[in-house]
C-alpha cells in the first residue's frame, strides 16, 4: 500500500 | 532511505553533471539528442509539481530543485548557447510516437484520477522511454563519444540501483509502487544492449561504434 499524495522517490 | 536509493540518486546526478561538463568543456553538444533532454526536462517538471504541495525532506526538495535546474540548463545549452553544434539532422526521432501513448496510458492507468497524480504518472511513463531518441541517434550515426557513453552508463546504473532499492523496500517496509516498478523495469531493459557495448568496448578503451 502507499500514500498517494506522497511520492518520496526522485 | 537505503544504500541503493542513495547510490541511485548519486549516479543519476553524476550522469546529468557529466553531460553538462561535456557540453561546457567541448563547447559542443554534438552527438547529444536535444529531444531526449527536452523529455527529461518535461519529466522533472511534471513529476516535481509536488514541491508546491508536499514536503518530504530537505534532501528530497534540494535534489528535485537541482535536477530541474540542470535539466533546463542542458536544454538551454543545446538549443540556445551551442545551437550551431547541435546535430538536429540525426535527432530525428518522432516525439509524438512517445508522447501520445504515454499521455493516453497515464489517463488510463494511475493511482488516482486527479491532475497531480495523472501528471506524476505521465512523468513516470515518459521517463521510461525518454532515452529512446538518444539511443536512436546513436544507432543512426553508428557511434558515440566516450564521454556520452559514460553519461548513458550512469543513467542506466541509476535505473538498475532503483530496482535494487525497490526490492529492498518491499522486503523491509512492504512498500511497492506498481506503476514506478513496472516502468522502471521497462526503462532498465532499454539500457541492456548499451551496457553490453559499454562493457565489451568502452571499458576496454575502444570507442563505441556500431557495425
Distance CA B36, CA B75 (A): 9
Q: Do the beta carbons of residue B47 and residue B120 sit within 8 Å? A: yes
Contact A9 B117 (CB under 8 A): no
Nearest Cα to B152, choosing from B30, B29, B15, B32? B15
Q: Is B9 an interface residue toward A (CB < 8 Å)?
A: yes
The C-alpha atoms of residue B91 and residue B68 are separated, in whole angstroms, by 23
User: ipTM more than 0.90?
Assistant: no
With contact defined as beta carbons under 8 Å apart, do B96 and B33 qualify?
A: no
Closest residue by Cα to residue B129 from B191, B178, B68? B191
- Best of B46, B49, B50 to disrupt the A interface (most A CBs within 10 Å) is B50
pLDDT by position in tens, chain B (length 211)? 899 999 999 999 999 999 999 999 999 999 999 999 999 999 999 999 999 999 999 999 999 999 999 999 999 999 999 999 999 999 999 999 999 999 999 999 999 999 999 999 999 999 999 999 999 999 999 999 999 999 999 999 999 999 999 999 999 999 999 999 999 999 999 999 999 999 998 999 988 888 7
- Taking CA atoms, B156 is separated from B31, B97, B175, in Å, by 18, 22, 23
Across the interface, whether the CB atoms of A7 and B50 are under 8 A apart is answered: yes
Nearest C-alpha neighbor of B127 from the set B200, B48, B65, B197: B48
- The total of other beta-carbon atoms located within 10 Å of residue B89's CB is 9
Nearest Cβ partner for A5 among B54, B64, B165: B54
- How buried is B41 (Cβ within 10 angstroms: 0-12 exposed, 13-18 middle, 19+ buried)? buried
**Which residues of chain B make contact with A6, given a CB cutoff of 8 A?**
54, 56
Total CB pairs under 8 A between chain A and B: 33
C-alpha B103 chain-centroid distance: 18
Residue B55, chain A, CB below 8 Å: the answer is no
Between positions 1 and 10 of A, the ones with CB within 8 A of B are 1-2, 4-10
Smallest CA–CA distance from B121 into chain A, residue: A7
Amino acid at each position: 500500500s502507499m500514500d498517494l499524495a506522497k511520492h518520496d522517490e526522485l | 532511505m537505503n544504500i541503493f536509493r542513495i547510490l541511485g540518486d548519486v549516479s543519476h546526478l553524476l550522469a546529468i553533471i557529466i553531460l553538462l561538463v561535456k557540453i561546457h568543456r567541448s563547447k559542443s553538444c554534438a552527438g547529444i539528442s536535444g529531444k531526449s533532454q527536452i523529455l527529461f526536462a518535461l519529466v522533472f517538471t511534471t513529476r516535481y509539481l509536488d514541491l508546491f504541495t508536499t514536503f518530504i525532506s530537505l534532501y528530497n526538495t534540494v535534489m528535485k530543485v537541482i535536477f530541474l535546474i540542470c535539466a533546463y540548463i542542458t536544454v538551454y545549452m543545446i538549443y540556445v548557447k551551442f545551437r550551431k553544434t547541435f546535430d538536429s539532422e540525426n535527432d530525428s526521432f518522432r516525439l509524438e510516437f512517445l508522447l501520445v501513448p504515454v499521455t493516453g496510458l497515464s489517463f488510463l492507468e494511475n493511482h488516482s484520477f486527479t491532475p497531480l497524480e495523472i501528471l506524476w504518472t505521465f512523468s513516470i511513463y515518459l521517463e521510461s522511454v525518454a532515452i529512446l531518441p538518444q539511443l536512436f541517434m546513436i544507432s543512426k550515426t553508428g557511434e558515440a563519444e566516450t564521454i556520452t557513453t559514460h553519461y548513458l552508463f550512469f543513467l542506466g546504473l541509476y535505473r538498475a540501483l532503483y530496482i535494487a532499492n525497490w526490492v529492498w523496500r518491499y522486503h523491509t517496509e512492504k512498500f511497492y509502487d506498481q506503476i514506478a516498478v513496472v516502468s522502471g523495469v521497462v526503462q532498465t531493459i532499454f539500457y541492456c544492449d548499451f551496457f553490453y557495448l559499454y562493457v565489451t568496448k568502452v571499458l576496454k578503451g575502444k570507442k563505441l561504434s556500431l557495425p
